[in-house]
A = this chain, B = another copy of it.
Amino acid sequence: MKAIIHIGLKPGVLDPQGRTIARSLGDLGFSEVKQARQGKVIELDLAGEDITIAETRVKDMCEKLLANTVIESYRIEIED
C-alpha cells in the first residue's frame, strides 16, 4: 500500500523559500509569477492491507514526526 502525504505551510505563515522562488523567477524574466509557495510530499510504501488502519497510522506519523503542526498542515492520500 502507498501513502502520499502533502505537507504545506498554513495560510498566513511566512514562506521565505516561496518568496525567493517568486523573486528569482521574476529576475529571470517570468514576470507573470505573482506568488509562489513551496511544500513537500512524502511517499511511503506500507506493509498491510487495511486502508482504515493505514490512515490512522499515517495520521499518527504526521503528528509525531512528519509535520510541524504549529506552522504546517497536511493531507493524506492512501492508494492500494
Indicate if the CB atoms of A36 and B42 lie closer than 8 Å.
Answer: yes
Q: Does A24 contact B (CB under 8 A)?
A: yes
Indicate if the CB atoms of A32 and B6 lie closer than 8 Å.
Answer: no
Number of this chain's copies in the complex:
2
User: Least Cβ distance of A72 to chain B in Å?
Assistant: 13
Nearest-CB residue, chain B, relative to A53: B32
Indicate if the CB atoms of B65 and A47 lie closer than 8 Å.
Answer: no
User: Least Cβ distance of A17 to chain B in Å?
Assistant: 9
Nearest-CB residue, chain B, relative to A34: B45
What are the residues of chain B within 8 A of A76 when measuring CB–CB? none
Chain A residues close to B by CB (< 8 Å): 6, 8, 18, 21-22, 24-25, 28, 30-48, 54, 57, 60-61, 64-66
